[in-house]
Amino acid sequence: MTMHDCDANHGGHDPLAKSMSTFLHLDSTSTTSSDLKEALSEILERFQTDQRYRNDERYLKLWMRYADLSDDADKVFLLLKSEGIGTQLSLFWAAWAYVLEMAEAYERVALIIAEGRAWGAQPVSLFEEFLRSFHERMLERMRMVGLDSRISEVKEEIDLASTRSSEQAMLRAKQSQTAAHAQREHAPDQPNISEREPIEGIENFCTGGGGACGSRCRPVDAPLGARDVNSHDGAALRRQECSTRNRPDRLPRPRVETDKKATIATAIATLICNPFSPDMRRRLTTNTAQYLCWASSSSIVYDTRLDSLARVCPRRMAKVNVGSRRPVALARSLGNQRINVLGVLGEGAFAVVFSCKFNKDQRDVAVKVEYKEDAPSLPWECFITLQLSERLLHRRQRKVHSVTEAPITVVKPEALFLYRDGCAMAMPVGLAGTLHDLVAQYSKRAQAVPQLVAMHYAVEMLRFCRAMHSASILHMDIKPDNWLLVRRPRSEVDRTEEMEHAGGIDHSVSLIDFGRAIDLSVFPQNGSDMAFMGQCCAPSFSCPAMREGLAWKHDADLYALGSCMYFMLHGVYLEVSREREDDSTLNRSGRWRPVKNCKRYWEVDLWDKIFSELLNSDYRAADTAGNNEALLRLEESLTSYLNVDHRSRDLKDCLRRQDNMFSNR
């Protein structure tokens, strides 16, 4: 029975509906694939030029069924895209992304979804649901890869032992194999990806319960009209079914491949999550606030959520700056602490930093007040700063006999006050302001920061970032305003006396404002196989990957670090360009470099090396501690330059003049 004979038995004014009814009838009764191939190809060819059905979901599902029968489903979707068929439907892009996922082309999945968004495909919610479920499946794959890789290593050990005819080595390997298999046996069942439908739109279409993508199908040889889809070895979309019944004769569903660790890691680093999405930040900060109230002593965290921050510290207090001709001393209560508010140190969109003095001991403190009812970031900032301090202390204790590394100074919060409409956090006040203030003070005198001073602070900044990344924390808001000029404790100054150029120098810097920080320790393997997407930094401090919507990790912090060093040297924000191969051709893979060159009497080669490394860091080439070896080499290069006796003396003279400059401002 031909298609025309079948169509004649159905009435109606929608020719596609009649054809689909015919196809479904054949699909439910056919015992071979030849009738299905012929029928489906004829339908697709007949309506391929009909504008009414270009973005008709029914017609798209027929194409998806064709992709199911094809050896190369990816080419089918490429053809549809070129013809403009289904491109306004998010189901088209989600199905294509699923095909790529099952073909293990993980790095293309997020790109296809992003392209679908750019086309304005609807509904958008389908994209979000797919990405969420894809992320879950990728994390599950990574977990299973960790188990199977151990078994694979043990098998290799057995083979090696057999080759060397070493009975003792063979015995150890077999014991390891038994342990690895026992671990696998007690682990949850290995996931079958198609058992959990990733997106509702595809689930409604795929009611046939077919096998997962990646199953092998015979190609469809029938032409599609003017343009044929070439078929060759590849993954097919087995689970896209037009049938409304289960088919017990399907091929077994393939299990997740376990020997593709590098590929899966790349996939996770391509999809990733946006750590700055409103939903994630809301969950993060709310959970952190609840945890701090439960885990911290009352001397650190004060749960005053029955009170209003607007009543205790109204924002109108921010009108008077510190150092103005009309200083104020407003008595206020934060929790059980009485303070005097002296003025304002800084102000942002959601927060104000006040200069205050505790009445109890007359200590000067900076109180950061965040007027934000929904997801304030101060609880997270308080928590992650304390975590950084604890992790570095633990690391230092493990290396108690090591004298190769100077400790860094972490500005820890002294108290956190939680209100129903915001938060307030007290922290030590800097002795001389921030790195931005340093540059401003020299600019007022028509001067630039001396190169020796810039090098000294560059060493301190590199050391801080290296320690922070080794503690599995990304700052994500590195800028001159967040580098606080601090003094090392006397014990640390004594420790560095015989170590480096900084012997006897207590001038240092410390990063503050960890409200956007990412804790990599919450991800599998300390985030070694993770990366992120999203925009969080000001343009001058955003790495190229972030600006271009690509994945990033430690490179976001390192680029911002290089930008801060550039600002310290030149007094202006960084502008970059790609290196050119010649005068006319822009090398798209060229390295980024500052537009403005270093002054010729500076150590040009050294600064070029620093900027080249920091501005072109790639998270894919970095180790789990954020390419710390590269940072250590830069730090050693700067320290070697400063260690010369006369330069060390000149540096101390420059820092003494700097102290006088700040005391007289």
What's the pLDDT at 31?
56
pLDDT at 566 over 90: yes
Q: State mean pLDDT over 650-664.
A: 87
Secondary structure (H, E, C), 556-624: HHHHHHHHHHHHHHHCCCCCEEECECCCCCECCCCCEEECCCCCCCCCHHHHHHHHHHHHCCCHHHCCC
Residues 6+ apart with CB under 8 A from 80: 60, 63, 86, 87, 92
Give yes or no: residues 32 and 90 share one domain: yes
- Both 423 and 515 in one domain: the answer is no
Total structural domains within the chain? 3
Rounded average pLDDT over 450-462:
95
603 DSSP β-pair partners: none
663 confidence band (pLDDT: 50, 70, 90): confident
pLDDT at 100 over 80: yes
Most confident of 138-147, 215-224, 379-388, 402-411: 379-388
Q: Of the residues 429, 448, 476, which one is the last residue of a structural domain?
A: 429
How confident is the prediction for the chain on average, in pLDDT? 72
Higher pLDDT, 606 or 397: 606
Does residue 501 sit in the same domain as residue 543? yes
* CATH of residue 540: 1.10.510.10
Confidence of residue 190 (pLDDT cuts 50, 70, 90): very low
Q: What confidence tier does 216 reach under pLDDT thresholds 50, 70, 90?
A: very low
pLDDT at 455 over 70: yes
Whole-model pTM: value is 0.59
Are 635 and 459 contacting, i.e. CB atoms less than 8 angstroms apart?
yes
- Shared domain check, 487 and 553: yes
Q: pLDDT at position 255, please?
A: 33
Encode pLDDT of 19-74 as tens digits. Answer: 888 777 777 775 566 677 777 888 888 888 888 888 999 989 888 888 887 878 89
Q: Are residues 140 and 157 in the same domain?
A: yes
* Domain span holding position 348: 277-429
Of residues 395 and 524, the one with the higher pLDDT is: 395
Q: Which of 207, 238, 271 is the last residue of a domain?
A: 271
pLDDT tops 90 at residue 217: no
Of 414, 190, 145, 194, residue with least CA distance to 297 = 414
What is the 3-state secondary structure of 157-218?
HHHHHHHCCCHHHHHHHHHHHHHHHHHHHHCCCCCCHHHCCCCHHHHHHCCCCCCCCCCCCC
Three-class SS state of 153: helix
Tell me the range of 6-15, 47-56, 150-159, 238-247 where mean pLDDT is highest.
47-56
Query: Is the per-residue pLDDT at 565 higher than 80?
Result: yes
Final residue before a domain boundary, out of 370, 400, 429: 429
Q: What is the pLDDT of residues 345-379, one digit of tens each?
A: 887 777 888 888 887 778 888 999 888 766 678 88
pLDDT score for 227: 34
Buried b (16+ CB within 10 A) or exposed e, 409-427: bbbebbbbbbbebbbbbbb
- CA 182 to chain CA centroid, Å, is 34
* 503 pLDDT more than 60: no
Highest mean pLDDT (candidates 88-97, 151-160, 275-284, 616-625) = 88-97
Q: Which of 543, 570, 571, 544 is nearest to 557 (CA)?
A: 543
Q: Is 368 annotated to bind ligand? A: yes
Residues 424 and 434 both lie in one domain: no
What local confidence, expressed as pLDDT, does residue 219 receive? 30
pLDDT at residue 600 in the model: 86
Is the domain of 629 the same as that of 657?
Answer: yes
Lowest mean pLDDT of 90-99, 305-314, 402-411, 481-490, name the range.
Answer: 402-411
Residue 640 CA: distances (Å) to CA of 28, 185, 304, 502, 509: 78, 55, 52, 11, 20
Of 381, 365, 420, 421, nearest to 514 (Cα)? 381
What sign for the dihedral angle of Cα 470, 471, 474, 478? negative
Tell me, yes or no, whether 227 and 352 share the same domain: no
| CATH number reported for the structural domain that contains residue 180 in this entry | 1.25.40.430
Residues 362 and 438 reside in one and the same domain: no
Could you tell me the pLDDT band of residue 454, with boundaries at 50, 70 and 90? very high
Decide which of 659 and 192 is more confident.
659
- The percent of residues above 70 in pLDDT, for the chain, comes to 63
What value does the mean pLDDT take over residues 380-409?
Answer: 76
Averaged pLDDT, 69-83:
88
Q: Do 422 and 436 fall within a single domain?
A: no
Question: Does 212 lie in the same domain as 167?
Answer: yes
Q: Residue 369 sits in a domain of what CATH number?
A: 3.30.200.20
Report yes or no: 154 and 180 within 8 Å, Cβ to Cβ.
Answer: yes
498 and 511 share one domain? yes
